[in-house]
Structure 1
Amino acid sequence: MSNYSVKEINNKSVWEGFSLRSSPNTFLQSWNWGEFNKSFGRKIWRPGVYSGEKLVGIALAIKYTSRFGDYLYCPRGPIVDWKDQDRFKSLLDELKQIATKEKCIFIKIDPLLEDTPQNRKIFSRLGFNSAVTFVQVEDAWLLPLEKSEDEILSQMRKTTRYLIRHEPQQGIKIEVSTRTQDANKFVDLLYLTATRKGFASHPKEYYLKQFEILSKDDQQKLYIAKKGNQILSMALIVFYGEMGYYLHAASNPENKQPTRPARPYDSRSVSGVAGWSVGYSLQWEAIKEAKRRGAKYYNFWGVVKDKNFHHSHPWYGFSLFKRGFGGFKYSYIRAQDYPMNSKYYAYRAAERLRRLFDRLRSGYWQD
């Protein structure tokens, strides 16, 4: 018999107090991320697991719709001590009850756990299936922030360090904004970037509503690299708990800046004779702000897997950019699906087909 009880949490301070005290934590399980999803009409739940009167785990769950039926999704959660399986099982039982009531075909969770055989067994033993595709990034590039700024700089790739110092000398300045008009400019530039580089993007309201809700609690800021009145690049950075997050970025297609030629033998250089894409000093300002706020890491978000880190991979360029700042790759366990009925397997088969078509379209077959 479990010693834990579960009840819905309706108090923002209670939720955020536990979330921010937990390690690891994530903005994807924050109160405001729930509010952001509610703003699009999605149903959300915030169950908490208690040991007596003490809150010991939380799980922000969001109801999504697919062609095959609805499902519950717990992004980068639950937030719980995974050493105590009864806490997770108590939350899972609550999620099952919600899923049954809402006629969901499965529950998807996305734990903040490293991808290890031992961690995978936690879920396989409980009847979970590893998802066909990832939802959040599986391989993130993390920069530890406990050292001094000078020490962090010293551990960067030489070219990265050079460009951080070189950009201000070229008249490039970094502005930080929480203005809605700047967020609109960001989305316009993002769509140009998405069209040019061929990646998917969300509707405009997705970025604007996210910015509105997170920035009001000082959890998101827009970083803008400018030369004179020309915007060269922009990035939406999230600051939450123990991390700063490089979440969304856009660049002007004409933002290449002239610099010294790269030496032919320096394979680490990304400058080249044609110039470089502005963004190094922007990242450095965001990194310093995350450090000032007491974050343990700056999360550059996704990078290509080590085995695929070569020029032919479509993620090679931005992965090289992120790696240049120093740090390490952290691999999260893949999202886990808990089937609620047989319709889940039709959904899973469709996901496999979609993944195949995506690979055919991209011409790249490796993960």
Structure 2
Amino acid sequence: MGHFLQSQAWARLQRDLGRTVVALDGDGWSAQAILERGKLNSRLYAPYGPQLDRADALPAALSALRSEAQRLGAAFVRVEPMLRDIPEGAQPALAPATLEASGLRRVARVQPEYTQRVRLDRPFDDVLGEMRKTNRNLHRNAAKKGLAIRASADPEDIEHLLRLLRDVSDRTGMHAHADEYLRQQARTLVPSGDATIYLVDLEGEEQPIAASLVFDDEERRYYAHAAANTAHRKLSPGVVLVTTMMQQAHEQGRREFDLYGVVPADVTDHAWSGFSDFKRSFGGEQIAFSGAWELPVRPLSYAIYSLARTVVGGRV
């Protein structure tokens, strides 16, 4: 199985957001792509796609995406190709030489290029055993500290996460997703069981002190959005939140817990370095993806777009 961003649930969310979504497939590949309208032109974007059974299926997948982009009037295709159903211990990333040989051009990342995944298909005591000792102790003693973790299937509970994210943003300057975007994630994905909201209550407090929204597919739970009240950081509610979400995913029979974006451990001066270390404290393995690549469809429009991107120093 591939990534959640290539799932039917994610396509349903994009359509609910008013976006055009196309689903394509062929011999050894499949791709779900979203038509994104930028300031200068449109692009057809396949997040963590196309998904390939084998590397030599990439040219056919790109050809189909290119034809669809032409039909929709997009100037280029943006992809993050990945291999699916890979052997245990292997990576889903394709070699840069393979991607370049298919006419793709490397660009700055869109989705995270690395993640941390923890295997859940084993006794949960073994999962705990790979965590940092403090995490294990916090998990086992949460109730003694007055913490209670609950799963919610009520989309309205996303407001607790939004409140906590705004607090984090005000304190750190972090740019969180727009409130309405996260509300739509909750409205679309929570009632269908494709996402769950988790809340951490503290005895004596009127509102939850930590919250998270996770995505679920048949084999994996994804740690998508989370925030905690810093006034209670000594209780480490964020740690207990993650370990409980892991434990419940284990009980539900999921094979992995995906902690989502990280930077490698040897990168110490990145904006993500701190929370990447936090995610690695739960054990698991670092997984590398292929990164973002683009395939021009309308060469002149793409050249103008690329020049503008260079001038402003980012994506446009």
TM-score of the aligned structures, taking structure 2 as reference length: 0.89
What is residue 271 of structure 1 aligned with on the other side? none
* Equivalent of residue 248 in structure 2, options 286, 289, 293: 289
What is residue 92 of structure 1 aligned with on the other side? 62
| Residues 187-234 of structure 1, C-alpha deviations (whole Å, 9 max, x = no match) | 222222222222222222211111122122211000101102331110
* Equivalent of residue 317 in structure 1, options 268, 274, 281: 274
What is residue 86 of structure 2 aligned with on the other side? none
What is residue 120 of structure 1 aligned with on the other side? 96
| Residues 290-310 of structure 1, C-alpha deviations (whole Å, 9 max, x = no match) | 22233222111112222213x
Distance (whole Å) between structure 2 residues aligned to residue 89 and residue 335 of structure 1: 16
How far residue 182 of structure 1 moved from its aligned partner, in angstroms, is 0.9
How far residue 92 of structure 1 moved from its aligned partner, in angstroms, is 2.2
1:182 aligns with 2:157: yes
1:153 and 1:161 in contact (8 A); partners too: yes
Distance (whole Å) between structure 1 residues aligned to residue 62 and residue 81 of structure 2: 13
1:78 aligns with 2:50: yes
Structure 1 pair 63–356 and aligned structure 2 pair: CA distance change class (3 A): closer
Distance (whole Å) between structure 2 residues aligned to residue 106 and residue 348 of structure 1: 11
Q: How does 1:100-139 map onto structure 2 within 5 Å? A: 100-113=70-83, 114=91, 119-131=95-107, 133-139=108-114
1:247 and 1:301 in contact (8 A); partners too: yes
- Number of residues paired by the alignment? 305
Q: For the pair shown, which has the larger CA radius of gyration, 1 or 2?
A: 1
1:32 aligns with 2:9: yes
Which runs of no fewer than 5 residues in structure 1 stay unpaired? 1-22, 51-55, 257-274, 358-367
Consecutive aligned runs of 4 or more in structure 1 exceeding 6 Å deviation: none
2:202 and 2:208 in contact (8 A); partners too: yes
1:335 aligns with 2:288: no
2:160 and 2:208 in contact (8 A); partners too: no
| Residues 138-158 of structure 1, C-alpha deviations (whole Å, 9 max, x = no match) | 111111112211111111111
1:233 and 1:255 in contact (8 A); partners too: no
Structure 1 pair 46–278 and aligned structure 2 pair: CA distance change class (3 A): same
Structure 1 pair 166–349 and aligned structure 2 pair: CA distance change class (3 A): farther
1:172 and 1:225 in contact (8 A); partners too: yes
The letter of the residue matching 1:104 is: A
Distance (whole Å) between structure 1 residues aligned to residue 253 and residue 51 of structure 2: 20
Structure 1 pair 162–240 and aligned structure 2 pair: CA distance change class (3 A): same
Distance (whole Å) between structure 2 residues aligned to residue 192 and residue 350 of structure 1: 34
How far residue 121 of structure 1 moved from its aligned partner, in angstroms, is 2.0
1:298 aligns with 2:298: no
Q: How does 1:1-367 map onto structure 2 within 5 Å? A: 23=1, 25-49=2-26, 56-83=28-55, 85=56, 87-113=57-83, 114=91, 119-131=95-107, 133-228=108-203, 229-256=206-233, 275-309=234-268, 312-340=269-297, 341-355=299-313
Which runs of no fewer than 5 residues in structure 2 stay unpaired? 84-90
Distance (whole Å) between structure 2 residues aligned to residue 354 and residue 226 of structure 1: 44
2:227 and 2:238 in contact (8 A); partners too: no
The letter of the residue matching 1:307 is: D
Distance (whole Å) between structure 1 residues aligned to residue 223 and residue 313 of structure 2: 26
Distance (whole Å) between structure 1 residues aligned to residue 125 and residue 174 of structure 2: 35
The letter of the residue matching 2:286 is: K
TM-score of the aligned structures, taking structure 1 as reference length: 0.77
Secondary structure at the aligned position of 1:224 is classed as strand
1:26 and 1:241 in contact (8 A); partners too: no
Of 102-111 and 170-179, more deviation after overlay is shown by: 102-111
2:16 and 2:188 in contact (8 A); partners too: no
Distance (whole Å) between structure 2 residues aligned to residue 353 and residue 315 of structure 1: 26
The letter of the residue matching 2:151 is: V
Work out the percentage of aligned pairs sharing the same amino acid.
27
2:58 and 2:102 in contact (8 A); partners too: no
Distance (whole Å) between structure 2 residues aligned to residue 278 and residue 72 of structure 1: 39
How far residue 354 of structure 1 moved from its aligned partner, in angstroms, is 4.6
Distance (whole Å) between structure 2 residues aligned to residue 348 and residue 167 of structure 1: 51
